[in-house]
């Protein structure tokens, strides 16, 4: 398997450019302005597989930010590779809260359908359940890692349903600040 950077530049050149951006004049000036110790700077580069055949992509928050204090998780999802966070051509993602149901499953409480799929949900009920269960496991892991109770912690998860088999992948997880 070979790596590509999405351009004619080699991946190593792209990584060096990103790595070097920690020390460009703008970054140096920003740290100086905010009195950040330059010796405390750390840099990381995430390298992950590309997802050339996305069936759906989305962002999930592992707390119910639509109804604080109520159980659940909040999600935005879009068809294919259309961006959820920076949509083009006025595309609007599907928006829903995943709420635990009394029978041990979950239900999606949709507040908006995707403009690219206005007549039907992007994810099936089984996919919503799989997303919830996997995100709940990740939520617990990171709550422990950050020394927080699960109720006092939330994570933001970027996810993909990939290929014709619609396999679930988590691309990125980070703490959610509210």
The answer, yes or no, to whether residue 46 has pLDDT greater than 80, is no
Computed from CA positions of residues 33, 36, 41, 47, in that sequence, does the dihedral angle turn out positive or negative? negative
What are the phi and psi torsion angles at 17 (to 5°)?
-65, -45
For 130, the token pair is 């799989």
Instruction: Check if CATH label 3.40.47.10 holds for domain 54-175.
Output: no
Residues near 57 by Cβ (< 8 Å), separated by ≥ 6? Answer: 51, 77, 78, 80, 81, 82, 83, 84, 158, 159, 160, 161
- The mean pLDDT value for 44-70 works out to 87
pTM strictly above 0.75? yes
CB-CB contact of 70 with 95 (8 Å): no
In angstroms, the CA 116 to CA 92 distance is 7
**pLDDT reported for residue 123:** 97
Strand partners, 168: 161
Domain segments of the chain as ranges: 1-47, 54-175
User: pLDDT tens across 109-153, in order?
Assistant: 999 999 999 999 999 999 999 999 999 999 999 999 999 999 999
Evaluate if residue 1 carries a pLDDT over 60: no
| DSSP track, 78-141 | EETT--SSS-STT---EEEEEEE-TTSSEEEEEEE--TTSTTS-SS-HHHHHHHHHHHHHHHHH
Please state the rounded mean pLDDT for residues 42-67: 86
């Amino acid at each position: 398997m070979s790596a590509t950077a999405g351009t004619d530049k080699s991946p190593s050149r792209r990584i060096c450019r990103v790595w070097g951006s920690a020390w460009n004049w703008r970054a140096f000036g920003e740290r100086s302005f905010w009195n950040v110790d330059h010796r405390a700077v750390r840099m990381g580069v995430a390298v992950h597989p590309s997802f050339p055949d996305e069936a759906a992509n989305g962002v999930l928050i592992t707390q119910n930010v639509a109804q604080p204090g109520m159980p659940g998780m909040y999600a935005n999802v879009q068809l294919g590779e259309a961006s959820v966070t920076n949509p083009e051509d006025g595309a609007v993602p599907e928006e829903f809260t995943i709420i635990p149901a009394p029978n041990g499953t979950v239900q999606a409480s949709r507040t908006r359908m995707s403009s690219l799929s206005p007549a039907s949900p992007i994810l099936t009920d089984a996919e919503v359940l799989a997303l919830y269960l996997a995100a709940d496991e990740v939520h617990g892991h990171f709550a422990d890692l950050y020394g927080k109770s699960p109720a006092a912690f939330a994570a933001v998860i970027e996810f993909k349903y990939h290929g014709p088999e619609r396999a679930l992948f988590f691309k990125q997880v980070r703490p959610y600040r509210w």
